[in-house]
Structure 1
Amino acid sequence: MSSYSELLRQKGFGRIILSQLLARFPFGMMTIAFVLHIEQMHDSYAVAGLALGAETIGAAISGPLLARWMGPFGARRVILTGAITGAIAMLIIAIFWLPTVLVIFLSLIVGLTSPPIQSAARTIYPSLVSKKQLNSVYAMDATAQEIIWVIGPVTAALLASSFGSAAVVALMAVLQIFGSILFSANREVAQLKIPAPNARVGGILRNRLVLSNAIIGLLMVGSFSGVEVGAVAILDKGTAGLVLAAFSAGSLLGGIFLGNRAKTDWALTKFLAVILLGYSLFWFAPENPWWIGICMFVSGLGVAPAFGLLAALVAKRLKQADAAEAYGWINTGQLMGYSAGAALSGIAIDIISSTAALWVSIIFGAATVVAAALTTKSLNQKPKD
């Protein structure tokens, strides 16, 4: 805890981390908001899952490109252009009844224009603190992100119950614009100069650290979509929001108490095993909201520490010219995993049952642990250029 308090005393660090949290808050609402709104529009969880998957595919495609474009075009311009364009697409989804093809297309646009807030913030952090503080920085960053996932789902569920799902999607659009403006107003963002990378787009994936990081992120985040889409299908709106908040609350506590204690090469595998343990416990009572909440809390304990450790490895071992694009590709891997998991979960619910989505989480979670164990050497040794 003392290491975290020292970070907050560093000039500019608290301002950057708080403003980027607000800018990214709509993402904490998006799963429930999109699933509820689009399912009501078309009476199909499969369509809702495909639309959510399209959004994540769009963000996966644009992540490394927008992160790379922050160099030549400037972070502020790229962030604000994307935020405004995506917000317009969200408002159209909220206001109008749309045929399946169009709602999936607009969801894709939301993803393609997703502002690279996280890549910008994580590229800035090393300039604000000393190198020995980087583990704590990224552990705190990953922990702080969980505030989004604790408050976001609950907010989305409660607002949808009171005002309708369209109001939640519209609120996401407004918050995206306001938060992006606030984040871009930081002088560190306005003055961010990212040197041109030496390699072509995608060349950074030849780095074993980055590729391993992206694969593990893909599998880990893919596991999240099963429990999130499954919770919405199994439980009522308000309860689903609270259960998802329990997942993030566990991650929040895990980040605070475990995040800066990663001391061995096998720390990542251990954190991921905790996530899998929570998933595996679902089957004792897969329709009991209290039990689901407890299981998700247990799983959450490993999430923020794992994310923080993965991000810190990139900050320590890559130059700034490569770090922004690397974070973009890592985010792409995570979003591809979420897209696949969301689509598979929606199909599993429609074809089998609402609890079938939980199997998606277990399968992805087991694959994540195996991948981390197999890539431990790549993650903990400096890759050759």
Structure 2
Amino acid sequence: MASTVKNRPGYGQLLRTPGAWTFLLPGFLARQPFAMLTIGIVLLVQSTTGSYGSAGAVAAFTGVSMALFAPQSGKLADRFGQRAVLLPGVLVHVASVSALTALALANAPLWALFVAAVPTGASVPQIGPMVRARWAAKLEGSQLMSTAAAFESVTDEFTFVVGPVLATALCTGVHPAAGLIAEATLTLAGGLFFAAQSRTQPAVRPAASADRPHVSALSIPGVRVLAVAFLGIGSVFGGMQVSLTAFAEEIGNPGANGLLYGIFAAGNMLAGIACGAIAWKSGPRRRLVLGYAGLTLAASALWAVHSVALLAGLGLLVGLCIAPALIGGYTLVESLVPASARTEAFTWLTGAVALGQAAAVTVAGRLADESGASAGFVVPLVGTVLALVTLISLRSRLSPRAGGRIAARGMGHRVPVAVD
């Protein structure tokens, strides 16, 4: 048994793949905006308007816009290539964030912030799905594909450790606009650097024809079920961001927000590392349902906690439960969706997280304004309960149809991997 584990492909072997670092490093920089954008908007708009409700509404416009446009970005990347989508997208995003920041600092009316928020969200670079697609193209037919799937999930979790903490520290310690300025700077540097790595981008997919019709990822029932599950996860991210900010203000220690959210995100990352290291005997569908049940249970107690120490511990537990659900969902996508629509599928899930986050920051912001931080923490509970009920009721749709398992290309169904 020991020799089996030893011979199993691990993270170290994956990272020695020739050319991998040419897209991993710029990809890490360029995917920070997704983790920094919402909290940066909330902190800036709350600072200029004094209202968490207004801040949440502006962030919600950004999130909804991203959720609607992200899948279209994935389709375009599959059709025309990642570089062709990223170059104009990065420039539009930087300009939009700059306009939103300037309007907020000028105390512009709320409707003007809403207008600027739309292109800001629509142009967020979809780096995570693009990196996954590059791994699939580079490692096609290799056992390392499953290791790449686990590694990308860990990287996503690490992004949510670094991004919100960095944005919060800049907004509270330097200037309320510093978080968004840093977000735009990272988008420009990382996005252009990532787009320049044209040798590792996947080959452009031929246009659909009568002989080879395009299969939309959203036409697959399992993808729709996963999208609902990821909406619930987005409600946790959004609800935690706003409610932790409000809680830190209530206790007179705004800087505690970064610490508390960092602990929550660190639990997320640590669980992600463990999920890639454990030799699972259960399938990804079972892990998704169990992880989601644990997430719902942990989120159910957030509203009742009023001490920093207890909230930090409970936040850590919530974070630990998110990673198994996310990784289980992404793994199922790889077995349910054909390679020609996989980038689109990943962007649907990314968009679902953004949409859930947008709804959560709006509702949690208004609840925090009216009734305090404890009321805002009800949002993650409601979001996860509704998603869990859907997940359990429709879990049969998460199994590939008989004879329909996709094995031709892309990251296949993930098998257990070891940490090298």
Task: Indicate whether the TM-score tops 0.5.
Answer: yes
- 1:4 paired residue number: 11
Shift of 1:76: 0.7
- 1:227 paired residue number: 240
- 1:30 paired residue number: 37
Shift of 1:94: 2.2
What letter matches 2:268 in structure 1?
S
The aligned length equals: 384
- 2:136 paired residue number: 126
Of 222, 229, 234 in structure 2, the residue corresponding to residue 209 of structure 1 is 222
- 2:119 paired residue number: 109
What letter matches 1:80 in structure 2?
L
- 1:276 paired residue number: 296
- 1:85 paired residue number: 92
The CA distance in 1 between the partners of 2:300 and 2:236, in whole Å, is 12
What letter matches 2:257 in structure 1?
A
The CA distance in 2 between the partners of 1:377 and 1:14, in whole Å, is 38
- When structure 1 is superposed on structure 2, of 68-77 and 188-197 the one drifting more is 188-197
Contact 2:137 2:202 in 1 (8 A): no
The CA distance in 2 between the partners of 1:156 and 1:207, in whole Å, is 37
**Against the structure 1 CA distance between its residues 43 and 166, is the aligned structure 2 distance closer, same or farther, given a 3 Å change threshold?**
same
Shift of 1:233: 0.8
**Against the structure 1 CA distance between its residues 34 and 87, is the aligned structure 2 distance closer, same or farther, given a 3 Å change threshold?**
same
- When structure 1 is superposed on structure 2, of 158-167 and 98-107 the one drifting more is 158-167
Contact 2:67 2:355 in 1 (8 A): yes
Q: Are 1:331 and 2:353 counterparts?
A: no
Shift of 1:254: 0.3
- 1:239 paired residue number: 256
- 2:270 paired residue number: 253
Q: Are 1:53 and 2:64 counterparts?
A: no
Shift of 1:67: 1.0
TM-align CA RMSD: 2.4
1:145-184 matches, within 5 Å, as 145-184=156-195
Contact 2:15 2:21 in 1 (8 A): yes
Contact 1:75 1:192 in 2 (8 A): no
* SS of structure 2 residue aligned to 1:266: helix
**Against the structure 1 CA distance between its residues 320 and 195, is the aligned structure 2 distance closer, same or farther, given a 3 Å change threshold?**
farther
Encode CA deviations 1:10-57: one digit per residue, 9 max, x unaligned. Answer: 233344333212101122222321111101221211110011000001
**Against the structure 1 CA distance between its residues 257 and 77, is the aligned structure 2 distance closer, same or farther, given a 3 Å change threshold?**
same
Shift of 1:188: 4.2
The CA distance in 1 between the partners of 2:230 and 2:199, in whole Å, is 28
* SS of structure 2 residue aligned to 1:210: helix
The CA distance in 1 between the partners of 2:78 and 2:267, in whole Å, is 36
Q: Are 1:342 and 2:367 counterparts?
A: no
**Against the structure 1 CA distance between its residues 318 and 196, is the aligned structure 2 distance closer, same or farther, given a 3 Å change threshold?**
farther
Contact 1:195 1:321 in 2 (8 A): no
* SS of structure 2 residue aligned to 1:310: helix
* SS of structure 1 residue aligned to 2:377: helix
Encode CA deviations 1:42-84: one digit per residue, 9 max, x unaligned. Answer: 1211110011000001101111111111234321121121111
Shift of 1:131: 5.6
The CA distance in 2 between the partners of 1:135 and 1:370, in whole Å, is 29
- 2:337 paired residue number: 318
Shift of 1:221: 1.4
The CA distance in 1 between the partners of 2:40 and 2:215, in whole Å, is 32
What letter matches 2:258 in structure 1?
G
- 2:205 paired residue number: 194
The CA distance in 2 between the partners of 1:233 and 1:147, in whole Å, is 24
The CA distance in 2 between the partners of 1:29 and 1:177, in whole Å, is 14
Contact 2:239 2:376 in 1 (8 A): yes
Contact 2:81 2:204 in 1 (8 A): yes
* SS of structure 2 residue aligned to 1:221: helix
Encode CA deviations 1:250-295: one digit per residue, 9 max, x unaligned. Answer: 01110111245453241111111222232223245x2312211111
Of 303, 323, 326 in structure 1, the residue corresponding to residue 322 of structure 2 is 303
Shift of 1:192: 3.6
The CA distance in 1 between the partners of 2:76 and 2:360, in whole Å, is 29
Shift of 1:351: 2.5
Shift of 1:7: 1.8
Encode CA deviations 1:168-225: one digit per residue, 9 max, x unaligned. Answer: 2112111111110111122345554234357999943221121111111112212221
TM-score, normalisation: structure 1: 0.92
The CA distance in 1 between the partners of 2:221 and 2:193, in whole Å, is 35
